[in-house]
A and B are shown apart, each in its own frame.
Chain A
Amino acid sequence: MQLVLEKRAERSTIIALVSPVIAIGLTIVTMSILFVIIGKNPIAALNVYFITPLTDAYSLQELAVKAAPLVMIAIGLSLCYLANVWNIGAEGQFLVGAVAGSWLAVKTNGTDAGVWVLPAMLLLGAIAGALYALIPAFCKVRFGASEILVSLMLVYVADLLLDYLVRGPWRDPAGFNFPTTAEFDPVATVPLLFEGGRLHLGAVIALVIVVAAAVLLGRTIKGFEIRVVGAAPRAARFGGFSSNQLVLLTFAISGALAGLAGIIEVAGPVGHLQPGISPGYGFTAIIVAFLGRLNPVGILIAGLFLALTFIGGEQAQIAMKIPLDITKVFQGILLFYVLACDSLILYRIRLIMPQRKAADGAA
């Protein structure tokens, strides 16, 4: 038996729509098998994972809180991937944005600085993230260095930078030697949408970014250029689009969004700078971008779904003692299925049986 791909005459629109759903379905089947292997009841585990987080108001808010950074980062990454350049260092840009914004919060801590602090922090975070993302982009267009490897190496560097700052110069003097900055002042904190809740302004910002990206991609020349450079680089050159300029632009935008997500996370749900502020948002956002088919609205839905895996993973650990790593396994398997199902949009799969050949030989 042999597996053969046959190119479709046209992209299959039906499969383009249902492929993320098929991928999620296959992932859930695979996960059930995995739960059985590690000796857990799969029905109960899936229930804790996907249903219970949706049943109370607190978890629903938490879902939006976790989805906001994922959506923001994934929107930026989708622009890169549409232009066929590979920023996989969003985690680093997220951390650097968090660090840059926190600098202002640490410096103004305890002073009676005005309400300008938070907007300035958000701006700093976005700028720092953009500059950090421009390093691999610049190395690519100027020297031809692989943006994949450079952007990834800078994740480790950003992680160490944050570690140095919170253990060294920025450590809270009253923090019992814990590696953390002092708690941010109220003016340096992202406001909550409802008093006493968890939902903060970041969720609104994420929605605004989704709309902005939809407009950019669907209604502007720049958005068109990004898509053409990625899909048909030769045609783009004839059209006079500068692919180098677009590499810089898409990296800068994605870095800025990751940096913004970083500082919002620190100034919002976390409230101070410390190591481990991200459970891998920058990497999970890659999955969000692909599951959302590199489309802003798709990314919004995909972001909510992957946020669910984080919350479900935490609850499954507490309720059923399922190791937290299963969330990463889950996310990895999901990305595999998403990519495999996407292949069906362009190709038809044919299984060729060798029996006929054998029969011919016998005759």
Chain B
Amino acid sequence: MELLEAIILAVLAASTPLLLAASGELLVERAGVLNLGVEGMMIVGAACGFAGAWATGSTLIGALCGILAGVVLSLVFALMTLGLAVNQVATGLALTILGVGVSGLIGAGFVGERIATAPRLYIPGLTTLPFVGKILFGEDAFVYVSLALIIGMSWFLYRTRAGLVLRAIGDNHVSAHALGYPVLKIRTLAVMFGGGCAGLAGAYLPLAYTPFFVPGMTAGRGWIALALVVFASWLPGRLVIGAYLFGAVSILQLHAQGWGVGVPSQLMSALPYLATVVVLVLISRTRSGGSTAPAALGTVFVPDR
């Protein structure tokens, strides 16, 4: 029972950065923009988040620094793809390459430093409940924020007028523009939101997951988050299932290594990446009848006045 509790806690912790980054990207893609720079924004978010928390001793300020870093990078992406109509795939790659370098520069001075991990929720009476107490009422704020984000996003996309407009822009930007909606402005806001989420997801790693900064510590999580959006068929609710499934795979491989399962550790470490490939193949195949992707995803839009 205690082992199970520990495993569930670990899965939640491993899933949260994926969920945060993927939910931001989901909204971006729903607006018809494909930002492949999630990995780059995450890794800079991790470096800035650590720097902020290290300088002030506050997890909150660290998280805000991470968000800010993600937003700044996403604005560069927006200027390129929305302002200058540059190919989104290439720009996203550029953002990732730049992000890895920038985070290395910022983080160089922090390697080996430690900070206190993010405080966990504690409600007397509830958190001390056996088994469910710690899982439901003893998480760090990031876990609750990530779930609140999903609920908020579902509400926004399907219950508000602005959400409807955003989805319309993602499916047909020409019609939306003809109806008088500010396509590029709304897309810019969506991209900024995605950047903030990616930055927060990155900041989660040094602030709550491990109490130190390691160069390249995102280890492809940004790319897995992109795959999760496909897995979720662009539906926020399914993102939760996907993220926790992937969190479970990555924790499983750690435990399997601990139990001394007779396979090379490198094979176990490769599991999350292989699982991503398998999931992409399966999910893309079952959707052969018609894609659920936003119809205008990744296409360039230049309004003619």
Contact = CB atoms under 8 A, between A and B. Distances in A.
A345 B304 CA distance: 18
A343 B98 contact: no
Contact of A329 (B86, B102, B305): B102
Given A325-B101, A328-B101, A343-B86, A145 B36 contact: no
Interface string B215-246: 10001100110110010000000000000000
A330 B104 CA distance: 12
Interface stretch (B2-10, B52-60, B119-127, B271-279): B271-279
B266 A145 contact: no
A154 B97 contact: no
Contacts of A153: 220, 223-224, 227, 273-274, 276-277
Interface in B283-304: 284-285, 287-288, 291, 302, 304
B80 A336 contact: yes
Contacts of B264: 164, 168
A340 B104 contact: no
A283 B216 CA distance: 15
A149 B135 CA distance: 32
Nearest to B302: A5
Interface string B244-288: 000000000000000000001011011001101100111011011
B80 A339 contact: yes
Contacts of A343: 84-86
B84 A340 contact: yes
Contacts of A277: none
Interface string A87-118: 01000000000000000000000000000000
A339 B91 contact: yes
B48 to A, nearest CB: 15
Interface in A1-18: 3-5, 7
B57 to A, nearest CB: 25
Interface in B149-195: none
B101 A332 contact: yes
Contacts of B305: 4
Interface in A140-164: 143-146, 148-150, 152-154, 156-157, 160-161, 163-164
Contacts of B100: 325, 328, 332
B148 interface: no
A349 B84 CA distance: 8
Interface string B32-46: 000010001000000
B277 A154 contact: yes
A89 to B, nearest CB: 11
A333 interface: yes
B145 interface: no
B75 interface: no
DSSP majority for the A interface? helix
A330 to B, nearest CB: 7
Interface string A302-329: 0000000000000000000001111111
Interface residues of A, number: 51
B85 A5 contact: yes
A149 B273 contact: no
A85 to B, nearest CB: 10
Contacts of A5: 83-85, 302
B273 A157 contact: yes
A342 interface: yes
B95 interface: yes
B49 interface: no
A336 B284 CA distance: 31
Interface in A26-40: 38
Nearest to A323: B108
B267 A339 contact: no
A326 B105 contact: yes
Contacts of B136: none
B151 to A, nearest CB: 27
A287 interface: yes
A30 B76 CA distance: 14
A160 to B, nearest CB: 4
A335 interface: yes
Interface string B76-103: 1000100111110111011101111111
A335 B269 contact: no
Nearest to A147: B280
B273 to A, nearest CB: 4
Contacts of B86: 339-340, 342-343
B263 to A, nearest CB: 10
A88 B96 CA distance: 12
Nearest to A350: B305
Nearest to A333: B98
B47 to A, nearest CB: 10
Nearest to A339: B86
Contacts of B93: 88, 283, 286, 335
A7 B266 CA distance: 51
A323 B104 contact: yes
B273 A340 contact: no
26 contacts: A143-B281, A144-B288, A145-B281, A146-B284, A149-B226, A152-B223, A153-B223, A153-B224, A153-B273, A157-B270, A157-B273, A286-B93, A325-B108, A328-B97, A328-B98, A328-B101, A328-B104, A331-B101, A332-B98, A332-B100, A335-B90, A335-B94, A335-B98, A339-B91, A340-B84, A349-B84
Given A153-B276, A346-B85, 12 more contacts: A38-B105, A143-B282, A152-B223, A156-B270, A164-B264, A283-B97, A290-B90, A325-B100, A325-B104, A331-B98, A333-B98, A339-B90
Closest 3 CB pairs of A and B: A332-B98, A328-B101, A325-B104
